[in-house]
Amino acid sequence: MIKGNSKKLAIIGAGTVGTTIAYSVMLSEMVSEIVLIDINKNKALGEAADMNHGLSFIKQMNIRAGEYEDLKDSDVVVITAGINRKPGQTRLDLAKINISIVKDITDNIVKYAPNAIVLVVSNPVDILTYAVQKFSGFPKNQVFGSGTALDTGRFRYLISECCKVDVTNVHSYIIGEHGDSEVPVWSTANIAGKKFKDFYKMYCNGDCTCKMQEIENEVKTAGAKIIELKKVTNFGIALSVRRILKAIYGNENSIIPVSSVMDGSEYGISGVALSLPSVINSNGIDRIFHIDLDETEMQKLKESEQKLKEVINQVL
């Protein structure tokens, strides 16, 4: 839980994603201290110095490189460390390597920051979120992953482009796995309260079935396409993490689809971490927000659960 006026954020992993998160948080002025921790200490030192040189233009804060012991008194610890998936590497291979990395990280979080909220961003995020929660023994509300927050942002953006409306007027979610089995919840997707299908028929003059499939495919392949073009995705994920952190530090009770360990109370799902709309505040996940799913969406969510379980059973 966030206590007092001094707000400290630790980011483990000073690569492109970790430093872009740090930079976006710095610009938002929501914390008073950011600590960057990386196995490459010079990289963390350089990134911290570069950001510090811009402090005269914004609110003053303490940005520095640190060691694991500098996790002490952190309100939130963000994990971005891990290897990126290489061409030809299976998702299972990636999970095995990154689980070994987050095991060491988790041990140090338990040692130095046992009261911190832990936000997992490294991929495969659902598998690693499950692993961190199990390794740490922390309450489920204290450990969660960025999950489908970015997928949901992409989903809303593409719907807004399709319907030519402000993206902030689009309300929709991607749930389940952050990956191939993710589930777009079309049944509740709406624009200013009007269901997407009705809006499309009325204002876009046509059957939306093909457009829906096109949007689904584009959301699923967006990350891979960006990586093909620029080798990395960093701005979208950084802004989605910034939004989650804003909900935590601001005690906002915002509803964001994040990945957390399921215990059977939501849709009968257990033994995995996956994304559902969750109320986020200074305690972490306050509660999971139940949305009505149609039969197809429910079936796809169960399929997503099973695919995640298959990986978990092989790596843990």
Give the global pTM: 0.96
For residue 288, give the amino acid letter.
I
The catalytic residue positions are 178
Q: What is the pLDDT of residues 236-251, one digit of tens each?
A: 999 999 999 999 999 9
Rounded CA-CA distance 153/236 in Å is: 8
Rounded CA-CA distance 139/292 in Å is: 26
Q: Which residue is listed with tokens 């997407």?
A: 196
Q: Specify the domain boundaries for CATH 3.40.50.720 within the chain.
A: 8-145
| CATH assignment of 149-315, among 3.90.110.10, 3.30.420.40, 3.40.50.11270, 3.40.50.880 | 3.90.110.10
CATH code that applies to domain 8-145: 3.40.50.720
Q: Which residues of the chain have pLDDT under 50?
A: none
Q: Specify the domain boundaries for CATH 3.90.110.10 within the chain.
A: 149-315
**Cα dihedral sign for 162, 165, 170, 176?**
positive
Q: What is the pLDDT of residues 140-194, one digit of tens each?
A: 999 999 999 999 999 999 999 999 999 999 999 999 999 999 999 999 999 999 9
Cβ atoms of 241 and 121 within 8 Å: the answer is: yes
Q: Please tell me the predicted confidence (pLDDT) of residue 87.
A: 66
Burial 57-92 (b: 16+ CB within 10 A, else e): eeeebebebbebebbebbbbbbbbbbebbeeeeeee
Rounded CA-CA distance 121/15 in Å is: 12
